[in-house]
Chains A and B, each alone.
Chain A
């Protein structure tokens, strides 16, 4: 099955700064998905990223806060902008790889 490499695996950031998370898939995929996982909560979909078009954001998430790039069929980035402690969470990317949805290993973000 496909492998998704996600980096960084963790980071501690100052409030007001931005962090860009990268995901690389070892095969071409149509759609990539970005999730947030907070302690004790379900995975929450942030946005769906299609190559060549703007990402589609879920209710409660906006492009200014979570800009996404999808320059080709194997790569995507999520930026968490103007961070606050409430953004501390695990961020995960995912893609449909023909055998189900595969996930990256996650980025554990702490905002101080």
Chain B
């Protein structure tokens, strides 16, 4: 079993839809959870960063963490064509500048106008 599993894609939704992106993990030592957005031919860009179970909201984006189920989600409300990108979940096991990230495979989202 891979340490981090991410829902396979691609995913195509109409503009204005609510999008739910999900990852599961097996390592209970993971404490810090991130979502990255990667546009074509660009590096990953940090969207959300959280370290506790529960929800964290930033504009149209909500990150949800359920440590008991080892499950994290990213919700995108009122999706826009500009949200079309690959979304990667990432996590690490302790706070520290040298702690490495473990990534999911990523899911490609397309928002149709």
Nearest neighbor of A45 in chain B, beta-carbon distance: B100
A33/B100 contact (C-beta < 8 A), A43-B88, A100-B49, A101-B34 known? yes
As a 0/1 sequence over residues 71 to 86 of chain B, the CB contacts with chain A under 8 angstroms (1 = contact) are 0000000000000000
Whether B97 contacts A96 by the Cβ 8 Å rule is yes
Q: How far is the CA of A31 from the CA of B97 in the complex (A)?
A: 6
B interface footprint on A22-54 (CB within 8 Å = 1, 0 otherwise): 000000011101000000111101001010000
Residues of B within 8 A of A1 (CB): 46
Residues of chain A lying within 8 A (CB to CB) of residue B90: 43, 101
Interchain CB contact under 8 A, B97 and A6: no
Answer whether residue B56 sits at the interface, using C-beta atoms and an 8 A cutoff: no
- Determine, out of B14-22, B62-70, B101-109, the stretch whose residues face the partner at the interface: B101-109
Docked-complex contact B98 and A102, CB < 8 angstroms? no
Task: Tell whether, in the assembled complex, residue A31 and residue B46 are in contact, meaning their CB atoms are under 8 Å apart.
Answer: no
Number of inter-chain CB pairs below 8 Å:
55
Nearest A residue (CB) for B108: A40
State whether A40 and B34 are in contact (beta carbons under 8 Å apart), knowing that A6-B43, A103-B45 are contacts in the complex.
no
Interface string of B24-57 (1 = CB under 8 A from A): 0000000000101000011111100100000000
* A residues lining the B interface (CB < 8 Å): 1, 4, 6, 29-31, 33, 40-43, 45, 48, 50, 92, 96, 99-106, 108
**Additional A-B contacts beyond A43-B101, A92-B44, A105-B43 (8; CB < 8 A):** A30-B98, A31-B97, A33-B101, A42-B103, A96-B98, A100-B49, A101-B34, A103-B43
In the A-B complex, the 5 residue pairs with the closest CB atoms: A103-B43, A100-B46, A96-B97, A42-B103, A30-B97
Chain B contacts to A: CB under 8 angstroms:
4, 34, 36, 41-46, 49, 88, 90, 97-98, 100-106
